């Protein structure tokens, strides 16, 4: 991908993350926005994680999983889950495969993600700045251990992201948790592409 296209996509993604969204008006919650399909995905997150880990271990990736410690432990969430606004190094781990015989463990190098304060004051904005698959959306309060992410997938050299709820193939739901002093994760169960579950590690740049 050419650098000008990367810059264009990154700028458009940032603008989309910071652009006011009617569904993020004060008082809005993720439950008021989420599609029925995404509610089911979030409800079944543990099954997705269990399936992904089992498939990855079956392909011989026990050591890689253990090396990541709390990051890939489904029960490692700590209190105070909200990441502060700023830029983060984000590493994506894909566990399990949606295709029979596919790779069940894929770890990508760190890209740049950005957390912003949403204009409504009710949510945080999330943007993955670079890479060929770039989640973008809003992070809503949920409980003492997690926040809930609703967004869409921006692909390739696309200059703008889809609005959530327009295309089910692009819609994404997940949750944000803190798993260390300066370590968070965005967990995306049953994404529409490739894996059973994606875990994106966030550490401050």
Confidence of residue 130 (pLDDT cuts 50, 70, 90): confident
**Mean pLDDT computed over 95-118:** 94
How many CB atoms within 10 Å of residue 97?
20
Question: Which residue would you say has higher pLDDT here, 18 or 203?
Answer: 203
Q: Is 194 helix (H, G, I), strand (E, B) or coil?
A: coil
CA 146 to chain centre: 13
Q: How buried is residue 56: exposed, middle or buried, by Cβ count under 10 Å (0-12/13-18/19+)?
A: buried
- What percent of the chain has a predicted confidence (pLDDT) above 70? 87
pLDDT at residue 27, rounded to an integer: 52
Q: Kindly write down the DSSP assignment for every residue of 45-99, as one continuous string.
A: HHHHHHHHHHHHHHTT-HHHHHHTGGGG-TT--BS--PPPSEEEEEEEEEES-SS
**pTM for this prediction:** 0.84
Domain hosting 38: range is 3-204
Tally the domains of the chain: 1
């Amino acid at each position: 991908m050419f650098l000008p296209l990367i810059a264009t996509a990154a700028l458009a993604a940032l603008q989309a993350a910071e652009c006011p969204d009617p569904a993020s008006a004060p008082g809005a919650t993720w439950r008021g926005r989420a599609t029925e399909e995404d509610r089911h995905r979030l409800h079944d997150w543990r099954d997705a994680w269990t399936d992904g880990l089992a498939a990855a271990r079956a392909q011989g990736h026990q050591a890689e999983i253990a090396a990541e410690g709390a990051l890939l432990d489904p029960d490692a969430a700590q209190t105070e889950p909200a990441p502060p606004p700023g830029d983060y190094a984000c590493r994506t781990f894909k566990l399990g495969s949606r295709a029979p015989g596919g790779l069940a463990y894929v770890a990508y190098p760190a890209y740049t993600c950005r957390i912003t304060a949403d204009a409504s004051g009710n949510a945080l904005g999330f943007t993955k700045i670079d890479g060929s698959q770039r989640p973008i959306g809003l992070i809503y309060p949920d409980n003492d251990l997690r926040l809930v992410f609703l967004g869409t997938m921006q692909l390739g050299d696309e200059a703008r992201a889809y609005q959530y709820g327009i295309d089910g193939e692009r819609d994404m739901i997940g949750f944000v948790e803190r798993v260390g002093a300066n370590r968070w994760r965005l967990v995306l169960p049953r994404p529409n592409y490739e894996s059973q579950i994606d875990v994106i590690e966030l550490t401050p740049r």
